[in-house]
Amino acid sequence: MTNRELIDKLNTEKALQKSEWAQLFATFSEADRLYAAELARGIADKVFGKKIYLRGLVEFSNYCKNDCYYCGIRCSNQKAQRYRLSEEEILRCCDEGRELGFMSFVLQSGEDRAYSTEKLCGIVRAIKARHPDCAVTLSLGELPAEDYRALYKAGADRYLLRHETADEAHYAKLHPQSMTLQNRLECLKTLKAIGYQTGCGMMIGAPYQTPETLAEDMLFIKAFEPHMVGTGPFIPHPDTPFKDMPQGSFETTLLVLSLIRIMLPKTLLPATTALGTIHPLGREAGIQAGANVLMPNLSPVAVREKYALYENKICTGEESAQCVHCLKTRLASIGYEAVESRGDYQY
Ligand code: SAM
Ligand code: FES
């Protein structure tokens, strides 16, 4: 089959075989990519209209007990300047976000056990008490099931945990032995079973990724049926073992966004900051390829640069209000608008 036929098949059957996925990733042309983007954007317009959901991202700690080889805040990076936000500071970010029109907050951090589950539950409850009409998403990494349950009971609505790669051998090349794909997938299953709107995802162009491992990712995403998929390019960080690895391809990232949209029409799909980092119009291109979510940063400007997962991250110097204004202007330039909404998954 030609690549165009494969994209059509995906559109009608919502599934491809592993070898078909691998063929697409290995051999797609610019025309194939644009064809997929057009289909994907048409689907997203039908499901969401010209509306884009905003999530305010609060990166509240860059301490991490893990040592993922790709990540700038891994525990072995002695050069990382570590910080933690207090509950009060986190709440202030959300208050500011609400004033700017956000109805959805994402609390993200390294795996930092200085915040006990009890403390995190208290923070979630406090956000919900101040902003009962808003959604809270957590992205805190791998936790025991009882902690996920407690946080859900405290009011958290969603959880983002990228699976990173669905191929076991590939997973082992990106992480130390203490981390396993099996545990990551177990966490994802648990989160979904508890009732969270759950997001998985992977970096595009992660070191040692191949068309076959990416095919495994697509098969996993199809089977898992996530409510959200977080996917952006890998970007090297100079103080990690992967400092000399090439960054992920802009075109492949856009193609993957489009294919995910075609496969899962209702999924919540951000055009990530990483995509905006590797191309000046990356987030706009992501939306034009089928994404429907943007996640501007609400963290205090003083700490933004310190949450450096990769090099040259954008938007680290701007106040939140400036970021929102900039994004709204960018959206308008391509015919889209940000909506004041929780932006829940429509079951
Ligand atoms: N600790 C939580 C976790 O493990 O899910 C959340 C924070 S973690 C830094 C969020 C995501 O950042 C990871 O899932 C990974 O895909 C992405 N990331 C880390 N390093 C990156 C890099 N060098 N380039 C692009 N994305 C990266
Ligand atoms: Fe823990 Fe990156 S290694 S957040």
3-state SS string over 12-56?
HHCCCCHHHHHHHHHHCCHHHHHHHHHHHHHHHHHHHCCEEEECE
Of 145, 136, 139, 229, whose CA–CA distance to 187 is shortest? 145
Phi, psi of 338 (to 5 degrees): -80, 140
pLDDT band at 18; cut points 50, 70, 90: very high
pLDDT per residue as tens digits for the range 229-253: 999 999 999 999 999 999 999 999 9
Q: Predicted confidence band at 280 (pLDDT cuts at 50, 70, 90)?
A: very high
Burial 90-112 (b: 16+ CB within 10 A, else e): bbebbebbbebebbbbbbbbbeb
Which residue's CA lies nearest to atom 12 of ligand 1?
Answer: 309
CA gap 148, 140 in Å, rounded? 10
Ligand with the closest atom to the CA of 74? 2
% of the chain beyond a pLDDT of 90: 99
Torsion of CA 256, 46, 193, 167, to 10 degrees: -10
Binning pLDDT at 50, 70 and 90, where does residue 67 land?
Answer: very high
Instruction: Say which ligand is closest to the CA of 140.
Output: 1
**φ and ψ at 102, to 5 degrees?**
-80, 140
Q: How far is the CA of 5 from the centre of ligand 2 (A)?
A: 39
Averaged over 273-278, what is the pLDDT? 97
pLDDT (mean) for 136-161:
98
Closest ligand 1 atom number to CA of residue 140:
2
Ligand 2 atom index nearest CA of 109: 4
| DSSP bridge partners of 52 | 338
Torsions phi, psi for 59 (to 5 deg): -90, 95
C-beta contacts of 341-344 below 8 A and 24+ residues apart: 341/51, 341/53, 341/103, 341/104, 342/103, 342/104, 342/133, 342/134, 342/135, 342/157, 343/53, 343/54, 343/55, 343/103, 343/104, 343/135, 343/268, 343/293, 344/135, 344/157, 344/197
Question: Which residue of 111, 235, 307 sits with most ligand 2 atoms within 8 Å of its CB, as the best mutation to test the pocket?
Answer: 111
Report pLDDT for 97. 97
pLDDT for residue 305: 95
To test the pocket of ligand 2, the residue of 73, 140, 142, 187 to mutate (highest count of ligand atoms within 8 Å of its CB) is 73
Residue 314 confidence (pLDDT): 93
* Phi, psi for 337 (deg, rounded to 5): -140, 145
Query: What separation in Å is there between the alpha carbon of 309 and the centre of ligand 1?
Result: 7
Q: What residue ranges line ligand 1, CB within 6 angstroms? A: 70-71, 108, 110-111, 139-141, 161-162, 164, 203, 232, 234-235, 237, 274, 309-310
Angstrom distance (rounded) from CA 268 to CA 294: 10
pTM, two decimals, is 0.98
In this prediction, residue 304 carries a pLDDT of: 95
Q: What is the mean pLDDT of residues 33-61?
A: 98
Q: How far apart are CA 59 and CA 56, in angstroms?
A: 10
Q: Which ligand is nearest to the CA of 62?
A: 2
| CA 30–ligand 2 middle distance (angstroms) | 34
C-alpha to C-alpha distance for 328 and 268, rounded to whole angstroms: 19
**240 CA distance to ligand 2 centroid (A)?**
11
**Residue range 152-165: average pLDDT?**
98
- Report the pLDDT value the prediction gives residue 134, as an integer from 0 to 100: 98
**Residue nearest to ligand 1 atom 5, measured at CA:** 141
Share of the chain above pLDDT 70, in %: 100
Are 84 and 63 in contact by the 8 Å Cβ rule? The answer is: yes
Average pLDDT over residues 18-29: 98
Which has the closest alpha carbon to 40: 338, 269, 346?
A: 269
Distance between CA atoms of residues 144 and 294, nearest Å: 29
Given pLDDT bands bounded at 50, 70 and 90, which one contains residue 302? very high
Nearest atom (ligand 1) to Cα of 111: 1
pLDDT band at 145 (very low <50, low <70, confident <90, very high): very high
Q: Which of 60, 62, 69, 74 to mutate to test the pocket of ligand 2 (most atoms within 8 A of CB)?
A: 74
Q: What is the mean pLDDT of residues 70-90?
A: 98
Four-CA torsion 42, 47, 51, 52, nearest 10 degrees: -90
Confidence of residue 157 (pLDDT cuts 50, 70, 90): very high
Sign of CA dihedral 220, 252, 293, 52: negative
What confidence category does residue 189 fall into, taking pLDDT thresholds of 50, 70 and 90? very high
